[in-house]
């Protein structure tokens, strides 16, 4: 680092709380609304659980958003939790040595967010997770290079023009359109073809189905929805496991633990809403509980499925790190078809952990955060070798 943080505190005496006098400064990047709420001593569940996870570790956690950054003086006016007083306080801090992103900027803050990235890169900060979401098309092309993964990838291409869509529908009769940089299941649609007629399935608060009479009409709907070419991928639809028209998939929650080792924390099973093309906004179950009690899978089949999952998840995580550098955490979405074959759907650089929380409870998430914070600490002690550059 360009300066020693403890020396800085001694000289400037801006942060005097004893809980902030040891270990590297870890900045938790949140959105502006959560930052404003902390002024009123209101914190959301993820922030609260992060604080709980850090209680015994005594890391210096500072929560901040884009509106809290003083670029001119290279400072952040961030929030920290006063354990003794059991309330939030706001103080002036130097730039953090490590950054963990759990929130994002607004669309109108895009340029400001880029400036933030550049500032942190110049400063030499390290990131627990990449600031940018994984690009689905870049990720797909990268993973195709790995024989151990390529066979698990659904057929995928970029939507350049209507011929791409016509070709994919001709091959598979059902495809998904997904934004290349999208997250949280937003702006996704599925198209089903039945001879020369089509059906568009979307989800916004509730599932929605749109009948379409011909291909020309379909194209009008698609490009009205997509808005710009080369910003979406087309992916073949997998015949997922389902219950009562509710799709089922898996979200593997994976991290680097306190010794830097890869750890698969849990694999929640997600059950979508009836007739929804996505499984977000869902019920979630523990992996073993679902496949034994609900799906009634025989023990040997369950063991084989789990073993295949562990191998695939590990290979995917390490292959993504070959592209993006070390990742402290990752959410990996996996489909299971009617024959119990696995398909890699996508990887998430900033998983919300909503399914993990619903299925496994708060203590599991606290333990997840605790190991992630330990991982961040050892990265500094080991000469920054465990975290990726900005």
Q: Using one digit for the tens of pLDDT, what is the confidence trace for 119-156?
A: 998 999 999 988 778 999 999 999 999 999 999 999 99
The percentage of residues in the chain with a pLDDT greater than 70, rounded to a whole number, is: 89
Distance, C-alpha 102 to centroid of its chain: 9
Enter the tokens of residue 179: 């934004």
Q: What is the pLDDT of residue 106?
A: 79
What's the mean per-residue pLDDT of the chain?
89
- State whether 311 and 375 are in the same domain: yes
What CATH number should be reported for the domain holding residue 28? Answer: 3.40.50
Q: Are 378 and 386 in contact (CB under 8 A)?
A: yes
pLDDT at residue 308 tops 50: yes
Q: What is the pLDDT of residue 381?
A: 62
Residue 346 CB partners (closer than 8 Å, separation 6+): 134, 136, 139, 178, 332, 333
From 127, 144, 174, the end of a domain falls on 127
Burial, 6: exposed, middle or buried (Cβ in 10 Å; 0-12, 13-18, 19+)? exposed
Q: Taking the alpha carbons of 314, 320, 326, 331 in that order, is the dihedral positive or negative?
A: negative
- State whether 254 and 216 are in the same domain: no
Residue 263 CB partners (closer than 8 Å, separation 6+): 254, 255, 256, 257, 371
Please state the rounded mean pLDDT for residues 257-278: 94
Q: Rounded distance, CA 202 to CA 279, Å?
A: 12
- State whether 277 and 141 are in the same domain: yes
Weakest-pLDDT range from 1-10, 175-184, 246-255, 373-382 = 1-10
Q: How many domains does the chain have?
A: 3
Helix axes 136-143, 299-324, angle to 10 degrees: 110
pLDDT at residue 304 tops 60: yes
- State whether 116 and 61 are in the same domain: yes
- State whether 313 and 327 are in the same domain: yes
DSSP for residue 374? H
- State whether 219 and 285 are in the same domain: no
pLDDT at residue 4 tops 60: no
Nearest to 251 by CA among 129, 102, 357: 357
From 236, 268, 297, the end of a domain falls on 236
- State whether 330 and 250 are in the same domain: yes
Weakest-pLDDT range from 21-25, 157-161, 277-281, 311-315 = 21-25
- State whether 102 and 74 are in the same domain: yes
For residue range 185-239, list pLDDT tens digits in order. Answer: 678 999 999 988 999 998 887 888 999 999 999 999 998 888 766 689 999 999 9
For residue range 48-89, list pLDDT tens digits in order. Answer: 999 999 999 989 999 999 999 999 999 999 999 999 989 999
Please state the rounded mean pLDDT for residues 92-118: 90
b (16+ CB within 10 A) / e for 59-89: bbbbbbbbebbeeeeeebebbbbeeeeeebe
Name the region of 193 (left: φ>0; alpha: ψ -120 to 50; beta: rest): beta
pLDDT at residue 312 tops 50: yes
Q: What is the pLDDT of residue 9?
A: 34
- State whether 45 and 167 are in the same domain: no
Strand partners, 70: 75
144 CB-side CA count, 13 A: 10
What CATH number should be reported for the domain holding residue 245? Answer: 3.30.470.20
Helix axes 215-226, 162-172, angle to 10 degrees: 120
- State whether 97 and 142 are in the same domain: no
- State whether 58 and 180 are in the same domain: no
Enter the tokens of residue 41: 């001593």
Please state the rounded mean pLDDT for residues 349-360: 94
From 84, 110, 127, the end of a domain falls on 127
- State whether 230 and 257 are in the same domain: no
Weakest-pLDDT range from 19-23, 57-61, 350-354 = 19-23
Q: Rounded distance, CA 315 to CA 309, Å?
A: 10
What is the span of the domain harbouring residue 60?
5-127
């Amino acid at each position: 680092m360009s300066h020693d943080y403890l020396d800085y505190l001694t000289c400037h005496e801006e942060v005097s709380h004893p809980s902030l006098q040891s270990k590297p400064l870890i900045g938790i990047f949140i959105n502006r609304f959560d930052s404003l709420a902390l002024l009123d001593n209101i914190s959301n569940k993820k922030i609260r659980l992060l604080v709980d996870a850090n209680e015994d570790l005594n890391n210096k956690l500072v929560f901040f958003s884009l509106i809290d950054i003083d670029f001119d003086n290279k400072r952040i006016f961030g929030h920290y939790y006063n354990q003794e007083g059991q309330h939030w306080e706001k103080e002036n801090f130097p730039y953090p040595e490590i950054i963990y992103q759990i929130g994002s900027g607004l669309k109108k803050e895009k340029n400001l967010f880029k400036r933030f990235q550049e500032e942190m890169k110049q400063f030499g900060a390290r990131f627990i997770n990449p600031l940018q979401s994984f690009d689905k098309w870049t990720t797909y092309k990268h993973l195709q290079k790995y024989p151990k993964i390529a066979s698990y990838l659904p057929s995928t291409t970029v939507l350049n023009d209507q011929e791409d869509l016509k070709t994919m529908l001709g091959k598979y009769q059902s495809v998904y359109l997904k934004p290349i940089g999208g997250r949280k299941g937003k702006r996704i649609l599925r198209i089903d073809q039945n001879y020369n007629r089509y059906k568009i399935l979307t989800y916004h608060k509730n599932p929605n189905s749109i009948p379409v009479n011909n291909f020309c009409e379909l194209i009008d709907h698609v490009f009205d929805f997509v808005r710009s070419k080369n910003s979406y991928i087309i992916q073949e639809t997998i015949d997922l496991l389902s219950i009562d028209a509710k799709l089922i998939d898996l979200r593997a929650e994976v991290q680097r633990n306190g010794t830097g080792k890869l750890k698969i924390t849990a694999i929640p099973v997600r059950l979508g809403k009836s007739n929804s093309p996505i499984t977000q906004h869902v019920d979630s179950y523990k992996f073993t509980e679902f496949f034994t009690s609900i799906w009634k899978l025989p023990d040997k089949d369950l063991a084989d499925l789990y073993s295949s999952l562990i191998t695939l998840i590990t290979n995917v995580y390490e292959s993504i790190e070959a592209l993006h550098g070390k990742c402290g955490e990752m959410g990996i979405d996996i489909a299971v078809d009617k024959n119990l074959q696995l398909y890699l759907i996508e990887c998430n650089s900033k998983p919300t952990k909503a399914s993990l929380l619903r299925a496994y409870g708060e203590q599991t998430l606290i333990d997840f955060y605790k190991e992630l914070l330990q991982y961040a600490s050892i990265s500094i002690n080991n000469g920054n070798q465990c975290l990726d550059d900005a």
